[in-house]
Amino acid sequence: MTATFFAPLRLAMIAMFALLATLPAAAQTPAASPAPAADPRLNLENVLFLDLSTGGRVSILLYPETAPAHVERMKTLARQGFYDGIIFHRVIDGFMAQTGDPKGDGTGGSDLPDLKAEFSSLPHLRGTLSAAREGSSVDSANSQFFITFMPRFDLDRKYTVFGRVFGGMNFVDAIARGVPAPNPDRIVQASIAADGKAAPDFASANIRANRPADPQPLPITAE
145/138 Cα distance (integer angstroms):
14
The tens place of each residue's pLDDT in the chain, 223 residues long, gives 444 444 544 544 544 544 444 444 444 444 555 555 555 556 999 999 999 999 999 999 999 999 999 999 999 999 999 999 999 999 999 999 999 999 999 999 999 999 999 999 999 999 999 999 988 899 999 999 999 999 999 999 999 999 999 999 999 999 999 999 999 999 999 999 999 999 998 876 556 543 444 444 444 333 3
Element (H, E) at 204: helix 202-205
Please state whether the predicted TM-score (pTM) of the whole model is above 0.85. no
Q: Are 28 and 20 in contact (CB under 8 A)?
A: yes
What is the fold, at CATH topology level, of the domain defined by 47-194? Cyclophilin (2.40.100)
Going across the sheet that includes 96-99, the strands are 88-92, 96-99, 145-148, 128-131, 161-167, 56-62, 47-52, 187-192
Domain boundaries, the chain: 47-194
Which residue blocks in 122-194 are alpha helix, DSSP H? 169-173
Three-class SS state of 164: strand
191/82 Cα distance (integer angstroms):
10
